Amino acid sequence: MRYLREVVAARELLFNLVSREIKGKYKRTVFGQLWSLANPLALMIIYSFVFGLIFRSNPHPGDPSGLNVFALWLLCGLLPWIFFSAVLTLGTGSLVANAGLIQKVYFTRIVLPLSIVGSSAYNWLFEMGVLVIALSIAGAFVLPWIPLVVVIMVMLALFASGIALMLSVANVYFRDTEYFLTIITQIWMYLTPIIYPISLVESASKDVGGLLGTSITLIDIYRLNPMEHFVLVFRQVLYDNRWPDGIEMLICLGWSLVSIIIGTLIFRRNERNLAEAL
Amino acid sequence: MSDVAVRVDHVSKSFRLYHERNQTIKSAIMRGRTSVHEDFWALKDVTFDVPRGSTFGLIGSNGSGKSTLLKCLANIYFPNKGTITHFGRIAAMLEVGSGFHTELSGRENIFLNGSILGMSKKEITSKFDEIIEFSGVEKFIDQPVKNYSSGMYVRLGFAIAINVDPDILVVDEVLAVGDAEFQEKCFQKFRDFRKAGKTVILVSHSMGAVEEMCDQAAWINQGELMAVGDAESTIQAYKDSLPRLTEE
C-alpha cells in the first residue's frame, strides 16, 4: 500500500514521461499521430486478403449485431493484440533504454515501464475510436457498450503492465529477453484466435479427441492462453454487441490481477538494484 | 529537527567484481551459473554527520569511493550495511541534463526534467522564469534541445536542478561546466543556498573550489573515512598525505 502511494505521488512524472513518449515519437513526421493507424491498417489489409479472401476463414456473423465483415471482425481482436504486444516489447526495453537516467537520478523507477503502457494506451484509444466509428458506419450499435469496452481495456492494460514489469527487470539481467520476446509474441499471436475464429480450433480438437488417452483435449490447452479470453470478450462486446459471458470476464479479471500483483512485487524487489545492475 | 542534515551511519557498500559474467541465457545455461565474482568493498564502515546549513566537501583520490558515497546519499545505490538518514528534502545533481529528450523544446524539457527531479507542475511554473533567466537560453527556449550548444544544454540542466529548491543538495563534479561567468553564477547560487540555511554536499577534485566553498569536509581513501570535520584541516591532512610532487 505504501508503494501504491509512492506511485500515485509520482503521477505527474508519469504523465510527463507519457507525453514525452507521445510527443517525441511522431515529431518531425508529416502525418504525425496518423502513423499509429498505419500499422494496424496494413495488417488489416494483409490478413483480410490472405485469411479472409484466400483461406476463407469465415467467422460467424455478429450476434445480435448482424455484422459480417471480416476486416472489422479481425480488428476487434487485432487492435487489443497490437496494444498488448507493444506494451510487452517497449516495456521490456524501457529500463535498459533509460539506463542513464536510472544511474543518475532517483525517482520511482516503476514509472518507466508504466509510461510505455500509458503512451501505448494513448495510441490504442485513438485506434479504438476509429474502430468504433467504422463499426457504427457498418451498422453495429456499439455506442452503449463503450463503458464496458473501457473496463475490458483497463483489464488488458493491467495484464500487459504486469508482464512488462516482470520482463523489464529480467531484461536488465539478461539482455536476451527482448530478442526472445519478439519470437514469443509472434508465436503467441498465432496461438490466439485473432486472424481465425476459435470454431476452427474446436473442430480440429474434436477430430483429434483426448490427447494421449486422457480426457484433456486440444481446446482445453488452447484456452489456457489468457489472451484468448480477452479477444473473446472484446469481440462479444464490440462485434456482437452483447454482454460478454460472466465467466469469461472473471477469467480476464483474474489474469489481470495475478499479472499486475506478481509484476509489481517482482519489480519492487529488484528496484533498488537496478542502478548497479545496468 | 536536529542540526544534522544527513546522518551516515556505519555505511558499507560492496560491488561485485566479476571474473565471469553471463548476461545471456545461453552462456548462463552453458556455464551453469550466472556469474563468478568476489566482493569489492568500495565503502567500509563510514560514519559521519553533515551539519545542517553547512557546505560539505567530499575529497579523496580517484577511485576512493567518493562517487559511490554520493550515489548512496542520492538514493541511487543502497548500502549493504548501515543506514543513511536524510533530514529534509534531498535533490541530487550527479549529471546535468540527464533525461532531456533531444527532440523536445527547452520549454518542454524544463517540465519533463523538473518532474523527474521531483518538482510538481505548480513549482515548475512558478520557477519557470527564474530557470530560464539563470540558464541564459531564453532566446532558444522553444527550440529543440538537440540544437543547443553543449554549454547551453548543461546550463539549462543545471538551472533546473538548482531550482528544485531542496533542503539538501548533492552535487557531483558538475561545477567544471560552463564558462567562467556561469561558474561564478553557480558559486553565487551556492552561497545563497548556505545563507538560506540549506545544506550542500559536493564532490570536487579541485581543492581550490573545495577550499573556497566548503566549511566542512570529509576525506575518503580506499573506501575508508580518514578525516572529517573542519574543511581547512581536512584538506591539509589530505594534501599532506599526497606524495610531494610540487616540493622542488
Inter-chain residue contact B94 with A104, CB threshold 8 Å? yes
pLDDT at B186: 79
Among candidate residues A51, A127, A27, the one with its CA nearest the CA of residue A86: A127
Longest dimension (CA), chain B: 60
Residue B101: list chain A partners with CB under 8 A: 20, 24
Inter-chain residue contact A13 with B103, CB threshold 8 Å? no
What is d(CA A155, CA A161) in angstroms, rounded to the nearest whole number? 10
Q: Is the pLDDT of residue B122 over 70?
A: yes
* 8 A C-beta contact, residue B59 and residue B82: no
Name residue B8's beta-bridge partners. Answer: B48, B84
The answer, for B71 touching chain A at a CB cutoff of 8 Å, is yes
**Edge-to-edge, what's the strand order for the sheet holding B35-51?**
B35-51, B4-21, B81-86
Residue A23: list chain B partners with CB under 8 A: 103-104, 108
Q: Which residue of B has its CA nearest to A176?
A: B24
Q: Position B206: which residue type?
A: S
Residue A27: list chain B partners with CB under 8 A: 103-104
Provide the pLDDT confidence category of residue B178 given band limits of 50, 70 and 90.
Answer: low
pLDDT at B248: 39
Instruction: Provide the grid cell at A10.
Output: 509520482
Q: What share of chain B is helix, strand, coil (3-state, %, to 5)?
A: 40, 30, 30
Gap from B91 CA to chain A (nearest CA, Å): 9
For the stretch A143-159, pLDDT in tens is: 899 999 999 999 999 99
Query: pTM value?
Result: 0.86
pLDDT at B161: 82
Closest in B15, B77, B116 to A107, CB measured: B116
Other Cβ atoms less than 10 A from the Cβ of B191: the count is 13
Phi, psi (degrees; rounded to nearest 5) at A56:
55, 45
Residue partners of A199: CB distance under 8 A and separation at least 6: A59, A60
pLDDT at B247: 45
Provide the pLDDT confidence category of residue B1 given band limits of 50, 70 and 90.
Answer: very low
DSSP assignments along A54-73, one per residue: IS---PPPPTTT----HHHH
Closest in B25, B101, B118 to A174, CB measured: B25
Q: Give the ipTM of the model, two decimals please.
A: 0.77
Longest dimension (CA), chain A: 60
Residue partners of A70: CB distance under 8 A and separation at least 6: A48, A51, A52, A57, A58, A59
Instruction: Provide the grid cell at B213.
Output: 566553498
For the stretch B8-30, pLDDT in tens is: 888 888 887 776 666 677 777 77
Gap from B15 CA to chain A (nearest CA, Å): 8
Mean pLDDT of A161-178: 92
What is d(CA A136, CA B88) in angstroms, rounded to the nearest whole number? 57
CA A268 to chain centre: 23
Inter-chain residue contact A105 with B94, CB threshold 8 Å? yes
What is d(CA B172, CA B206) in angstroms, rounded to the nearest whole number? 12
What is d(CA B107, CA A83) in angstroms, rounded to the nearest whole number? 30
What is d(CA A111, CA A191) in angstroms, rounded to the nearest whole number? 31
For the stretch A223-237, pLDDT in tens is: 999 999 999 999 999
What is d(CA A217, CA A212) in angstroms, rounded to the nearest whole number? 9
Inter-chain residue contact B104 with A23, CB threshold 8 Å? yes
Provide the pLDDT confidence category of residue B220 given band limits of 50, 70 and 90.
Answer: confident
Q: Which helix (H) or strand (E) holds A82?
A: helix A70-97
Instruction: Provide the grid cell at A129.
Output: 475510436
pLDDT at A146: 93
Gap from B246 CA to chain A (nearest CA, Å): 36
Among candidate residues A116, A112, A99, the one with its CA nearest the CA of residue A275: A99
The answer, for B74 touching chain A at a CB cutoff of 8 Å, is yes
Chain A interface with B: residues with Cβ < 8 Å: 12-13, 16-17, 20, 23-24, 27-28, 100-107, 173-176, 180, 272-273, 275-276
Closest in B23, B78, B94 to A272, CB measured: B78
Q: Which residue of B has its CA nearest to A29?
A: B103
Gap from A17 CA to chain B (nearest CA, Å): 7
For the stretch A17-39, pLDDT in tens is: 898 888 878 877 888 888 888 88
pLDDT at B174: 62
What is d(CA A92, CA A171) in angstroms, rounded to the nearest whole number? 6
* 8 A C-beta contact, residue A91 and residue A168: yes
Closest in A24, A101, A175 to B98, CB measured: A101
